[in-house]
Structure 1
Amino acid sequence: MAGWALDVMDVLGAPGAGLLVALENLFPPLPSEIFLPLAGFAAGLGRISLFSAIFFTTLGSVAGALALYWLGAALGRDRLRAIADRVPLLKVSDVDKTEAWFDRHGGKAVFFGRMVPVFRSLISIPAGVHRMPLARFTLLTTLGSLIWNTAFVLAGYLLGQQWHLVEDYAGILEKVVLGAVVLAVAWFVVQRVRGARRDRVSSSGRRDRPRTR
């Protein structure tokens, strides 16, 4: 992966680094934790400039985020509610609660979400679904991406041949985030299953209760 990414940067220069980051936004399994420090490493070797590495990787982040924003906008609230109504353990009210939360905290979610592994790409979809003003979304995405990308590009630039240390530490952070997500999903499922059982017991009790005149 690292060799291929460097080849892309050798052929396309700094715009190649931006292309890789844009693809990472659209396909999260591609690792920005490799592409960004590698762009800094390439800058340290003189293949591209440090400024262009930061500029084009941030441009790539914004481009990828905008594509996912429009995907969310195309999905829309009505389709999302219809999907939630068909998925076991989900309720339409969950969509309404999420929408209310996003109306209150959407700006912070987009800005800080750009600096959290896994959520870096996904946060753009609910922003599109809830039609956050495009100018605001673009500004917050640019600022969050600029901070994240600059940190990783500079780390690769300063570490040189040891750039892979960035990937190692970022991998730990990603595992922590994924673990938290798994625990949250498990808690949600357990709560919904327990609630469904209570509802069935309550409903059965009402049916079995003798009627009085």
Structure 2
Amino acid sequence: MSPETLSLEYALAVLNVLGLPALFVVFVMKGALVGKIFPTSVFLSGYVAITTPTYVGAITIIVLVTVAHVIGQFVVYTGSRRYGEQIVSSIPYVDLDPSSDRFQRVDDWFTRYGGVAVFGTNVIPWSRGLIAIPAGVSSYPRRRYLVHVGTSTLLYHTVYVAVPLLGLAMLA
């Protein structure tokens, strides 16, 4: 066996052992707006393409990253419910000013559409997670928030896991 093949097999073995716990941590951070420092969707699709999980494995990945992301968003929601919009100033690696146009746009969407905005912004890549702040500040009901975030995040992550699997299936 060549050294390159052995190195690749070793790397895949490490990825299979540490991959799911690492995904969990990365997506909790992503949900808490900390993971915005790198494209986690590309990371997720790459992980799926490299590990080529079974359907049960793919479902496990989808559920894991969805639960992790929802936990992260719920932390921001709960923090903003308690401390207000200024919670964003205490989140590391987040450069978001509550008086910025982007933040005001998300706040306006939430004010106008409520739960539909919570669902919708969680399936649009550039706005995911920000809605947690106006939802928390307005004391939007926790259960409704979790239902909207959970279903939209599940849909979003299903697409990012299914696309590489379908691509690999088409190549086979």
- Shorter-chain TM-score above 0.5: yes
Q: 2:148 matched to 1:140?
A: yes
CA RMSD of aligned residues (A): 3.2
Please, which of 93, 96, 118 is the counterpart of residue 126 of structure 2? 118
- 1:131 aligns to what SS in structure 2? coil
Which deviations, in whole Å up to 9, do the C-alpha atoms of 1:87-140 show, x marking residues without a partner? xxx6xxxx8xx8786344110111010011221021111111111100000000
Distance 1:113 1:140, change over 3 A: same
Please, which of 37, 40, 46 is the counterpart of residue 38 of structure 1? 46
Q: 2:18 matched to 1:23?
A: no
Please report how far the alpha carbon of residue 17 of structure 1 lies from its aligned counterpart in structure 2 after TM superposition.
1.9
Q: Percent identity?
A: 28
- 1:121 aligns to what SS in structure 2? coil
Distance 1:15 1:51, change over 3 A: farther
Alignment of 1:1-213 (within 5 A): 9-25=15-31, 26-27=33-34, 28-44=36-52, 49-76=57-84, 102-160=110-168
8 Å contact kept, 2:66–2:154: yes
In 1, the alpha carbon distance for the partners of 2:15 and 2:133 equals 29
Residue 174 of structure 1 corresponds to none
In 1, the alpha carbon distance for the partners of 2:17 and 2:63 equals 18
Please report how far the alpha carbon of residue 155 of structure 1 lies from its aligned counterpart in structure 2 after TM superposition.
0.9
Question: Partner amino acid for 2:154?
Answer: L
Quick check: which has more Rg, 1 or 2?
A: 1
Distance 1:113 1:9, change over 3 A: farther
For structure 2, the 5+ residue unaligned runs are: 1-11, 88-98
Pairs aligned (count): 141
For structure 1, the 5+ residue unaligned runs are: 1-5, 81-89, 161-213
In 2, the alpha carbon distance for the partners of 1:147 and 1:99 equals 23
Task: Provide the TM-score with structure 1 as the length reference.
Answer: 0.56
Which deviations, in whole Å up to 9, do the C-alpha atoms of 1:134-184 show, x marking residues without a partner? 000000000000110000111122234xxxxxxxxxxxxxxxxxxxxxxxx
Task: Provide the TM-score with structure 2 as the length reference.
Answer: 0.67
- 1:140 aligns to what SS in structure 2? helix
